[in-house]
Amino acid sequence: MTTYIIRRVLLMIPTLLGITVVVFAISRFAPGEPVSFTGGIGGQIDTGQTDVTSARMKLYGLDKPIHIQYAQWLWRVVRLDFGDSIRHHRKVSELIKERLPVTLMLNVIAFLIIYAVSLPVGILAAVKHGRLFDRASSAVFLMLWSLPVMWVGQMLIGYFAGPTFKNWFPPAGLSSNYAEQLSFLPWLTDRLWHLVLPVLCLTYTGFAYLTKQVRASVLNNLQADYVRTARAKGLSEPAVIFKHVFRNSIIPLITIVATLLPAMLGGSVIIERIFSIPGMGLLAFEAITSRDYNVIMAVATIAGILNLAGLLLADIAYAVVDPRICFESTVEAL
């Protein structure tokens, strides 16, 4: 098991390097010199080949050949030093340390809710295959899947969190202004109150995808021989479903975490922007509007790393849950 994990991590290294190459390449092959724009509103645009430009090029190491620039950048990234943010005048790593937990919290809560809803619905849909519940749930979830998230977010704010219609929920942020003075329990309710709408937006698209997978997986298992055996020996239907079918059909669902994660990270840019939640997504959005290169590169790299970590976790969980997986041959199969 340990050797499997070590081997899996080692295989990730080239992929990780590849991600940094892609991110670096995008930033360097883009038109325009990084030094010609000093950032912020009213930033100076300096297009001439003046002494200032060349001095700045030297300062940022831009006069060196591209592979050396990459090596230098990579060496700093390895030490978790992403440079300074032009917009915030702070270290990028500090900013990310502040913002990352917010996004992770949002996504983890959303994940739990998606699984809590999709598992029972998917199983029930598979058991009632072809009947009303099955068809209705798949129709509703297909509809939810197609709802654009920015529209839903804006509608929710407009109708439930604004002065125009109902004013039930707070429209923005993670907690109220006075939250720091509250004791733990009121603080928690305040936080949860703020999370209702954004988490709702993050979850509903996942329902459709996961429910479909659960349903397909359960249906597949329902046709297996061991189900017939279980029924033949007189087990009750719930016992067949939950003790036999459910446990077997849950295994492929673990890897789905890995496919849901990137979509949710992307979606959190939109959601954090709509609800003004200070997470990675909003950081990325602000960095892009102000051309804060260091932050953009850091966020893209970290998003890639997070994604890879998700894949790794899914693979390990898969191996832990299903003892039939042979560790030696999986590496070959990769």
Partner 1 sequence: MRGAKNKKQKEQSHERKRVGLSYGELVWRRFTKSRLNLVCLIFVLFLFLLAVFAPFIANDKPFVIRIDGKLYFPLLRNLQPSDYCIFLAAVVVLWHAVGPPSCFRKKAGGLHRNTSGLGLSVAIVSVGAVLIFVFVPRRFDAVDYKEMVDSGKATGAIFAFIPYGYARTELASHRQPPSSRHWLGTDDVGADVLCRLIHGSRISLSIGFVAVGISVVIGILVGAILGYFGGWIDFIGMRFVEIMMAIPVFFLIITITAFFPRSFLNIMIIIGVTGWTSNARFIRAEFFKLRKQDFVQAAVSLGLPLRSILFRHILPNAVAPVLVNATFGISSAIFIEAALSFLGFGVAPPTPSWGQILSLGVSASGRFLWWLTLFPGLAIFFTVMAYNVVGEGLRDATDPRLSKAA
Which residues make up the interface to partner 1 (CB under 8 A)? 14-15, 18-19, 21-23, 26-27, 30-31, 129-131, 142-143, 145-152, 154-155, 157-159, 162, 164-165, 212, 215-216, 219-220, 261-263, 265-267, 269-270, 273, 284-285, 287-289, 291, 296, 299-300, 303-304, 307-308, 311
Beta carbon nearer to partner 1, 14 or 323:
14
Which burial class, exposed, middle or buried, applies to 109 when counting CB atoms under 10 A from its CB (0-12, 13-18, 19+)?
A: middle
Structure tokens of 197? 């709408």
| d(C-alpha 178, C-alpha 184), whole Å | 13
Q: How far is the CB of 51 from partner 1 (least distance, A)?
A: 26
Q: Please state, in angstroms and rounded to a whole number, the distance separating the CA atoms of residues 93 and 110.
A: 26
The minimum distance between CB 88 and partner 1, in angstroms, equals 16
Cβ closest to partner 1, residue 45 vs residue 185: 45
- The distance of closest approach from Cβ of residue 111 to partner 1 in the complex, given in angstroms and rounded to an integer, is 15
Nearer to partner 1, 32 or 186 (CB): 32
Looking at the DSSP bridge assignments, the partners of residue 46 are: none
DSSP string, 218-279: HHHHHTSHHHHHHHHTT--HHHIIIIIIHHHHTHHHHTHHHHHHHHHHHHHHHHHHHHT--S
DSSP string spanning 288-329?
Answer: HHTT-HHHHHHHHHHHHHHHHHHHHHHHHHHHHH-TT--HHH
Give which of 266, 327, 334, 333 is closest to 6, Cα–Cα. 327
Smallest distance, partner 1 to C-beta of residue 173, A = 14
The least distance separating partner 1 from the CB of residue 304, rounded to whole angstroms, comes to: 5
Q: Which is nearer to partner 1, 149 or 317 (CB)?
A: 149
CB of 158 to partner 1, least distance (A): 4
What does residue 84 show for φ and ψ, rounded to 5 degrees? -105, 150
Select 175 or 259, whichever has its Cβ closest to partner 1: 259
